[in-house]
């Protein structure tokens, strides 16, 4: 299979939800503020639920109950939110693929992304960028399974 044939289907690639795209822009905008980010998050019920679940987890909740997106955004911080939003947008964009272990694929991707982020913290690299790159590392494998399933190694 040639790269050309693989990318012929690229106009049909799954799209990252618009709210996720807008949030990523806001995270990178130095003039953006917590209120704008909170309002944008509230536009997506699934993303809101994930953020509330994380904010109230044992790792972040510290015994107190976070009841609003505004409070969750402040408590989690921009770096953590950015990681969650990017991960949620990427994983949610792809549907189930016959013969492909999507759960294992994302588990491996998150592991590599987390390791990349950890390594970046000990260098001059941006940890959130490293996380995103780690998440995207195996995307070619996913494209092969989506558009050329017959060529995919099973």
Residue partners of 56: CB distance under 8 A and separation at least 6: 65, 66
Judged by DSSP in three states, 134 sits in helix
Domain-embedded: residue 89? no
Q: How many independent structural domains does the chain possess?
A: 2
Domain-embedded: residue 82? no
Per-residue confidence (pLDDT) for residue 85, from 0 to 100: 87
Q: What angle do CA 17, 23, 29 make, to 5 degrees?
A: 145
- Scanning the chain, the segments in alpha helix (DSSP H) are 3-7, 18-28, 34-41, 45-55, 58-61, 69-93, 102-121, 127-136, 139-147
Please tell me the distance from the alpha carbon of residue 71 to that of residue 57, in angstroms, as a whole number. Answer: 14
Do 4 and 52 reside in the same domain of the chain?
yes
Q: Chain centroid to CA 69: how far?
A: 18
Do 12 and 68 reside in the same domain of the chain?
yes
Burial 22-55 (b: 16+ CB within 10 A, else e): bbbebbeeeeeeeeebbebbbebeebeebbbebb
The token duo for 105 is 């694929």
Per-residue confidence (pLDDT) for residue 152, from 0 to 100: 59
Per-residue confidence (pLDDT) for residue 49, from 0 to 100: 92
Do 61 and 130 reside in the same domain of the chain?
no
Domain-embedded: residue 25? yes
Mean pLDDT by 10 residues, the chain (154 residues): 57 72 87 91 91 87 82 88 83 74 84 91 89 81 70 56
The token duo for 112 is 């590599």
Domain-embedded: residue 142? yes
Domain around 25: 1-76
């Amino acid at each position: 299979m040639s790269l050309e044939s693989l990318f012929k289907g690229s106009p049909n690639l799954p799209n990252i939800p618009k709210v996720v795209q807008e949030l990523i822009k806001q995270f990178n905008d130095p003039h953006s503020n917590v209120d704008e980010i909170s309002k944008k998050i509230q536009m997506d019920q699934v993303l809101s639920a994930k953020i509330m679940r994380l904010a109230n987890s044992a790792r972040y909740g510290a015994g107190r109950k976070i009841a609003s997106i505004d409070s969750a955004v402040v408590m989690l911080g921009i770096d953590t939110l950015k990681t969650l939003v990017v991960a949620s947008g990427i994983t949610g964009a792809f549907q189930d693929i016959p013969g492909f272990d999507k759960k294992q694929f994302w588990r491996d991707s998150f592991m590599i992304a987390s390791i990349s982020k950890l390594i970046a913290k000990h260098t001059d690299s941006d940890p959130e960028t490293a996380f995103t790159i780690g998440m995207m590392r195996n995307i070619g494998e996913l494209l092969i399974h989506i558009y050329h399933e017959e060529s995919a190694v099973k």
